[in-house]
Amino acid sequence: MKSKMKKDSKFDEEFQKSQQLTVESDSDFGYEDSSQDYGSEDSYASSEFEDGDSSSSGDEDHLGDDNSKDAEAGKGGPSKDEDFTYTGGSLALGVANDQEDGSGDSEIHQGVETDSSEDEVAPRNTIGDVPLKWYEDEPHIGYDVKGKRILKREKQDKLDSFLASADDPSSWRKFYDEVNDEVVELTKEEAKVISKMIKGHAPHSHFDPYPDYVDWFKWDDAIHPLSNAPEPKRRFIPSKWEARKVVRYVRAIRKGLITFDKPKEEDGPYLLWGNDSGSTEKSNHLAYIPAPKPKVPGHEESYNPPLEYIPTQEEINSYQLMDDEDRPKFIPKRFTCLRSIPAYENYVQERFDRCLDLFLCPRVRKKRLHVDPDSLKPKLPSRKDLKPYPMACYIEYKGHEDAVTSISVEASGQWMASGSSDGTVRIWDVPTGRCLRRWEIGEAITCVAWNPLSDMRILAVSAGQDVLMLNAGLGDEEEQKKIRELLYVEPSAPDNSDGKTLSVSWHQDDKHEALKLKHLKTVTAVEWHRKGDYFSSVMPAGESRAVLIHQLSKKFTQMLPYRLHGLAVRSTFHPTRSFFFICTKKTVRVYDLLKKKLIKKLDTGLHEASSIAVHPGGDNLIVGSKEGKMCWFDMDLSSKPYRVLKCHPKDINNVVFHRTYPLFASCSDDSTAYIFHGMVYSDPNQDPLIVPLEILRGHASSNGRGILDCKFHPSLPWLFTAGADKVIKLYCH
Amino acid sequence: MVKHYRPPGKKKEGNAAKYVTRSQALKLLQISLPLFRRLCIFKGITPREPKKKFKGTHHTYYHVKDIAFLHHEPLVEIHRTIRTHEKKIKKAEAKKNLERANKLREQTPKIRLDRIIKERYPRFVDALGELDDCLTTVHLFAALPALESKKIDVESVHRCRRLAHEWQAFLSRTHKLRKTFVSVKGIYYQAQVEGQTITWITPHPLQQVVPDTVDITTMLNFLQFYETLLGFVNFHLYHSINLKYPPILDPRLEALAADLYALSRYVNTSARPSITNSEADHLDGSDEVEVKENEGQTEDEKSKLRLAQLQHQLPSNEPGSLMHLVEDISGEDEEDQDTKECKNLFKNMKFFLSREVPRESLLFVIPAFGGTVSWEGEGAPFGESDQSITHQVVDREVQGHLFFSREYVQPQWIYDCVNARIILPTEDYMVGRIPPPHLSPFVVDNEEEGAYVPDYVKTIKRLQNAARKEVLPLPGVGKEDLGDPQNLLVEGINDRAEANEAAQRKEKMKMLEQQYHDELKKELQGAAYTPMGSNVGEQTCAGEIKTGEESTSNIKQNVEDSANMPLVMMSRRKRKLLEAMQISNERKRAANDLIKQRKKKLEESKR
């Protein structure tokens, strides 16, 4: 090692003047120190190694440069001898050095043909550290020592070279030296050295990086101490500072400034509920609701349940089709012996869910009803006690060619009028079911209504925009005459009246021998006053003139002096007093016609009311709606419904009270009619009694419509129903 | 959402004043969400359901008082100091001052939950009443693997094991176990302690995996509370039977993972002298610990002994302690019928467990019902070759020597015996056979609901009746019971009685049905005939015929109508309730029908 270092220094000395590369080269050699050293020690491989080293170090140009310079500078004669003598220790190196110099000499003569790969041997190319790119297009690669061109070798075919390399087992050791344009082959030892260097080991295998330490100094036989100085005093006297420190600690401990860690207390359990006095203590917290206990398992959770608890394969497959919520969470399984039960995979998850429930779920006490569901149903009085009421279909009146929209029973109960969408009005004999009379109106009839007076058999019919007063033609001569007089109107009458303000014009209709009231808009309902002189008509699209009151005797029409809120649906007169009810979609308004003011507003709470009926007593009324609900109002009680009955799944078309019996009925598009017992007591403190009595079926539905109208017989507990199936039915008790 | 204007300075009213949302609560308490959760778990505070959710339905609401309750909790302050302490430790570690870090770590304040337990459960009975979840969680963690990644440390697993075993040893000693049930999920146990029914599950002794969906910190919070609770409960229970609480166990047995046995041995050995000194002396001091002190002694002898004992102690002891002793003895006498029955179920029977049966469970169950048990392995009280063994519990074909002096049964036999409280015949439970179905003892009142009853329930009932009829249900003769002609007779009687009952019931039902139909018909006819009576006219004849025809065809319709009639009069709420009830009843019935159908199919396929 030392020798090589020396050699480096020699190089330095040599090139200090000419080149400014010293530092660089120095470092290079420093890096390659160990290898050089190794090379020098190991004589047999030295030459090859140095060559390999120069090529692998990546600084070969540089080295080559140096060497060439060395060669150029000629022999460093004087320093060489010194060098030789100084190194002394390693003979091999001396030889190498010697050789180096020798070869340096010989190179001058031999020049190119030396194929020796020794480090000291200058490469045959002398171009120096120039980019090889410059020579790319030239036929030569550079110049030898003598300045002759070195020609490029013939380029080998790539395929051939590949084949050759494939055949040659030592091809992995060969590489191409671009500068010298030749292939260099490493020996196996060189390759080994390189691989070791790559790994970062010492290149030589025999090199020991950690040799045993040799202690050159030996005390054994020495008589004298190493130092003759006397022992210092401080070794014998106690330390003042230590003493002070101790005193300070002692004082601190005495004062309690320093406390020592107490022996750990065992905080194990103790008798927490010693004397159960806690029972008397009352906590002032909120009511504590204990968590519900987890469900205890049934037979199906057993590891070996009865066979019938295990679902078949098809059933298990069908679970896959189910909704996630419906799917059973636990599928029973059967194991024939205890040892074959596997671990339950959801155990921890279920436990965790329970934990979450325990602290994240609000706890609410819920009453669980363990009652028979039937006991929830209200106890109703027996139906038998509430007889008579219509129960079964008795007579069918057939003849209409389209849905019967409206019926009306004459005051005596002997005749019944009906209007249909086929544009005809018929009068039927009630007991026999015979059609007595028939009018062709031409337009779909919306409403028919008998005059409530028994000696004035006039039929009010609404069809389209007209309201017709038909003479039924029943009764004796005198009566007929009276009616005819009543129904006569001067043809010029409408011109005289204030045509602009009035929306109705009174005409004589000769075809039916009738009185015709022409309205501006479609009329949906006609209602008589109990005295038979006044009647009202409703045209929902009429806005402020939606409800009109007509006086037959004076042929006079007046509109209500009130603003209507909402769409008018029906109107009706109070059975005893001068009140007038207007039913709009959501509310019912009660007006006093004499005092001309609003008396009451009833809030139905329904979406769309369709019909209204007033109890003969006058204090109660029912409103039917299109959502199938029926509201019973007790007008003395409140403006809110006393009872809401949800009986029909479809629209209610009409509701009606019986005039003498405590009965009321509703008919709906679901082709049923409900009969209720609705008893109103004279005692104002007693609430009305409502009992559902019977569901009447029998009508068929057509075009989604069922029973369009129903009316009670004026004196008997009979119910007439008009169906969309062109039939009118009479239900008797 | 519409915000109502509240003038400044006016206090909140109604629900907004009574409840706060969770985030409001956090802001108020100045703590983080995880700590809040932890405190809620410790203090047992749950969200509430205000009548009006003023901030929307997606919020969680807490009562203001609950939050105030948390606000005054010292635990909040302790957690804060812990946090500052942790910061100090971190700082010391960062400065490489390990000594200080260790010192600080030792000084970290610890949370004590005893006060909270007392607060939550002012009486011991309250704590027992809510022990279900506690036991299940502790038993689960006793079976979980200690995982670094899941923060389950070995110590806590060991602690759980110890607590669980202590609890089991107590039950086993005092014979308070009532029911067991081996389900697919795990083994259910039910015990009755101080009038409280406590049910818990233990997982099967196999590796449990903690899935990633489980937030283990929540579970650990619960565990921390439950561990403390169970510790105190165990202390109280052990104290009540005059035992020192943290029991000192035989390290040899402990090492062999036979903690439960070691515990029960400890319990028995140390309980005996404290309760009845002279009795223990009277008995031979052999190592057979499971032999109960009262075993083999008639009532007379016992009372004599007690008298002697009292006289013996009279001069030496103060009257106070004497009174105590008397109380103790009377306490023993107070054992209810149930406990006695449980205590004597496996009396005079010796069990031996093979390797493959679940040892821990059976070591708990058999002594709890008065049996003596041993197992294969070291530290067992007696070996397999012991001639006095009456039953050997095996779960697979025995390879070794077969003893004719004992019966080989599957483990299910023990659980079934325990649930039925009689010694069942062992024939069906022999090795290699598929045992009869294992039924849940928790299904009790199924008969009145009309639910499906498996056949084996009936068999067990019959056997129970037979056992009760006998003057002395000798254990071990259960097998001969079946062959006994007298017993068969009893069975026959039972059967006949049952059949009679069923027939009567059927007849009754039929009668009722008939009556109903008759009534209906009458009603219809009445409806048809009444018009005749009233003076309407001659036309009614035709109408009558019509109605008659209709009536026959529409009976069903009418029945339905009459049933639905009251529905019209019901309020909407009640109607919905009724509908819900009907749906749920229908569902139950469907489930029952399904099982019955399967049963029918099975029977058909057998033929």
Cα separation, B2 vs A318, in Å, equals 48
User: What average pLDDT does the segment B492-500 reach?
Assistant: 51
β-partners of residue A419 are A406, A425
Cα separation, B595 vs B451, in Å, equals 10
Beta-sheet strands, E only, within A539-586: 547-551, 556-559, 568-573, 579-584
Residue B189 has pLDDT above 90, yes or no: yes
- The answer for residues whose C-beta is within 8 angstroms of residue A445's C-beta and 6 or more apart is A405, A406, A419, A420, A421, A423, A424, A425, A461, A462, A463
Contact A474, A457 (CB under 8 A): yes
Residue B243 has pLDDT above 70, yes or no: yes
Q: What is the torsional sign of CA B493, B497, B498, B502?
A: positive
| Highest mean pLDDT of the ranges A38-52, A347-361, A701-715 | A347-361
Which pLDDT tens digit goes with each residue over A41-74?
A: 443 433 444 444 444 444 334 434 444 444 444 4
Which pLDDT score is estimated for A108?
41
Contact A633, A641 (CB under 8 A): yes
β-partners of residue A614 are A621
Q: Measured between alpha carbons, how far apart are the two ends of chain B, in Å?
A: 69
- The answer for residues whose C-beta is within 8 angstroms of residue A126's C-beta and 6 or more apart is A68, A142, A143, A144, A145
Gyration radius of chain B's alpha carbons: 34
* ipTM tops 0.95: no
Cross-chain CB nearest to B566 (options A380, A391, A716): A380
Cα separation, A297 vs A300, in Å, equals 8
Which pLDDT score is estimated for A492?
53
User: What average pLDDT does the segment A417-434 reach?
Assistant: 87
Residue A707 phi/psi, 5-degree rounding, is -95, 125
Cα separation, A720 vs A731, in Å, equals 6
Contact B435, B413 (CB under 8 A): yes
Which pLDDT score is estimated for A138?
84
Which pLDDT tens digit goes with each residue over A650-707?
A: 889 999 999 888 889 999 988 888 888 888 888 878 888 888 888 888 888 888 888 8
Cα separation, A360 vs B221, in Å, equals 14
Counting Cα atoms < 13 Å in the Cβ hemisphere of A11 gives 27
Amino acid at B100: R
User: What average pLDDT does the segment A91-101 reach?
Assistant: 40
Which pLDDT score is estimated for B498?
56
Q: Which CATH entry fits the domain spanning B348-483: 3.30.43.10, 3.40.30.10, 3.40.50.10190, 3.40.1010.10?
A: 3.40.50.10190
Q: Among A39-48, A334-343, B370-379, B433-442, where is mean pLDDT lowest?
A: A39-48
Two tokens, residue A253? 């401990």
Closest by CA position to A443, among listed A466, A426, A473: A466
Which pLDDT score is estimated for B9?
80
Which pLDDT score is estimated for B11?
82
User: What average pLDDT does the segment A88-115 reach?
Assistant: 41
Amino acid at A248: R
Task: Tell me which chain B residue has its CA closest to the CA of residue A281.
Answer: B122
Looking at residue A543, what DSSP letter applies? Answer: G
Residue B442 phi/psi, 5-degree rounding, is -85, -15
Which pLDDT score is estimated for A502?
59
Which of helix, strand or coil describes residue A102? helix
Contact B216, B153 (CB under 8 A): no
Residue A141 phi/psi, 5-degree rounding, is -105, -10
Which pLDDT score is estimated for B44?
92
More confident residue, A418 or B498: A418
Which pLDDT score is estimated for A103?
41
Cα separation, A271 vs B237, in Å, equals 10
What is the bridge-based pairing of β-strands B391-393 and B350-353? parallel
Contact A546, A568 (CB under 8 A): yes
Quickly tell me which residue has 């039915």 as its tokens: A729
| Highest mean pLDDT of the ranges A100-104, A553-557, B397-401 | A553-557
User: What average pLDDT does the segment A315-320 reach?
Assistant: 86
* B positions 75-94 inside 8 Å of A (CB): none
Cross-chain CB nearest to B206 (options A279, A291, A342): A342
Q: Are A348 and B358 in contact (CB < 8 Å)?
A: no
Which pLDDT tens digit goes with each residue over A282-295?
A: 556 678 888 999 88
Cα separation, B310 vs B304, in Å, equals 10
Which pLDDT score is estimated for B448?
55
Which of helix, strand or coil describes residue A99? helix
Which pLDDT tens digit goes with each residue over B551-596?
A: 555 677 777 777 777 777 788 888 888 888 889 889 888 888 888 8
- The answer for residues whose C-beta is within 8 angstroms of residue A345's C-beta and 6 or more apart is B209
Which pLDDT score is estimated for B446?
54
Q: Among A151-155, A185-189, A421-425, where is mean pLDDT lowest?
A: A151-155
Residue B91 has pLDDT above 90, yes or no: yes
Contact B346, B366 (CB under 8 A): yes
Two tokens, residue B512? 């009722």
Which pLDDT tens digit goes with each residue over B247-284?
A: 877 666 666 656 677 777 776 665 544 333 333 333 33
Chain mean pLDDT for chain A: 77
Task: Tell me which chain B residue has its CA closest to the CA of residue A373.
Answer: B578
Residue A24 has pLDDT above 70, yes or no: no
Contact B603, B455 (CB under 8 A): no
Sequence spans of domains, chain B: 18-72, 77-107, 114-267, 348-483, 570-607
Q: Quick one: what percent of chain A has pLDDT higher than 90?
A: 8
Find chain B residues with C-beta within 8 A of A431's C-beta. 537, 539
List alpha helices for B437-484, DSSP H: 455-469, 478-483
Burial A183-211 (b: 16+ CB within 10 A, else e): ebebbeebeebbebbeeeebbbeeeeeee
More confident residue, B398 or B425: B425
Residue A360: band (very low, low, confident or very high) from pLDDT cuts 50, 70, 90: very high
Cross-chain CB nearest to B581 (options A298, A308, A373): A373
Looking at residue A342, what DSSP letter applies? Answer: P
Long-range contacts of the stretch A183-187 (C-beta < 8 A, 24+): A184/A51, A184/A55, A184/A117, A186/A48, A186/A52, A187/A45, A187/A48
Q: Are A290 and B442 in contact (CB < 8 Å)?
A: no
Which pLDDT score is estimated for A7?
43
User: What average pLDDT does the segment B90-103 reach?
Assistant: 94
Residue A1 has pLDDT above 70, yes or no: no
Residue B528 phi/psi, 5-degree rounding, is -75, -35
Which pLDDT tens digit goes with each residue over B459-493?
A: 888 888 888 776 444 444 444 444 444 444 444 44
Residue A527 phi/psi, 5-degree rounding, is -140, 135
CATH architecture for residues A386-732: 7 Propeller (2.130)
Gyration radius of chain A's alpha carbons: 63
Q: Is B518 on the interface with A (CB under 8 A)?
A: no
Q: Quick one: what percent of chain B has pLDDT higher than 70?
A: 71
Which pLDDT score is estimated for A244?
96
Residue A2 has pLDDT above 90, yes or no: no
Which pLDDT score is estimated for B539?
41
Which pLDDT score is estimated for B342?
81
Q: Are B112 and A691 in contact (CB < 8 Å)?
A: no
Q: Are A395 and B523 in contact (CB < 8 Å)?
A: no
Report helix angle A46-56 to A33-41, nearest 10: 160
Which pLDDT tens digit goes with each residue over B102-117?
A: 989 988 998 999 999 9
**How close, in Å, is residue B216 to chain A by CA atoms?**
8
Total beta-carbon pairs less than 8 A apart between chain A and chain B: 295
Q: Are B585 and A391 in contact (CB < 8 Å)?
A: no
Q: What is the torsional sign of CA B381, B387, B391, B393?
A: positive
Q: What is the 3-state secondary structure (H, E, C) of B256-290?
A: CCCHHHHHHHHHHHHHHHHHCHHHHHHCCCCCCCC
Residue B327 has pLDDT above 60, yes or no: no
Which pLDDT score is estimated for B475?
44
Omega before residue A342 within 30° of 0, cis:
no
Which pLDDT score is estimated for B167?
92
Looking at residue B570, what DSSP letter applies? Answer: S
Which pLDDT score is estimated for B67?
94
Alpha-carbon B163 to chain mean position: 18
More confident residue, A116 or B6: B6
Q: Are B235 and A261 in contact (CB < 8 Å)?
A: no
Report helix angle B154-174 to B131-143, nearest 10: 130
Cross-chain CB nearest to A376 (options B188, B395, B574): B574
Which pLDDT score is estimated for B186?
93
Which pLDDT score is estimated for B26?
95
User: What average pLDDT does the segment A483-498 reach?
Assistant: 63
Task: Tell me which chain B residue has its CA closest to the CA of residue A377.
Answer: B566
Cα separation, B203 vs B187, in Å, equals 6
Task: Tell me which chain B residue has its CA closest to the CA of residue A672.
Answer: B561
* B positions 138-157 inside 8 Å of A (CB): 140, 144
Q: Among A272-276, A725-729, B87-91, B148-152, where is mean pLDDT lowest?
A: A272-276
Contact A619, A630 (CB under 8 A): no
Q: What is the 3-state secondary structure (H, E, C) of B323-337?
A: HHHHHHHHHHHCCCH
Q: In what order do the strands lie in the sheet with A556-559?
A: A525-528, A534-538, A547-551, A556-559
Cross-chain CB nearest to B570 (options A271, A333, A378): A378
Residue B516: band (very low, low, confident or very high) from pLDDT cuts 50, 70, 90: low
Maximum alpha-carbon separation in chain A: 176
Q: Is B135 on the interface with A (CB under 8 A)?
A: no
Residue B203 has pLDDT above 90, yes or no: yes
Sequence spans of domains, chain A: 2-199, 386-732
Q: Is B537 on the interface with A (CB under 8 A)?
A: yes
Cross-chain CB nearest to A302 (options B140, B213, B438): B438
Q: Quick one: what percent of chain B has pLDDT higher than 90?
A: 29
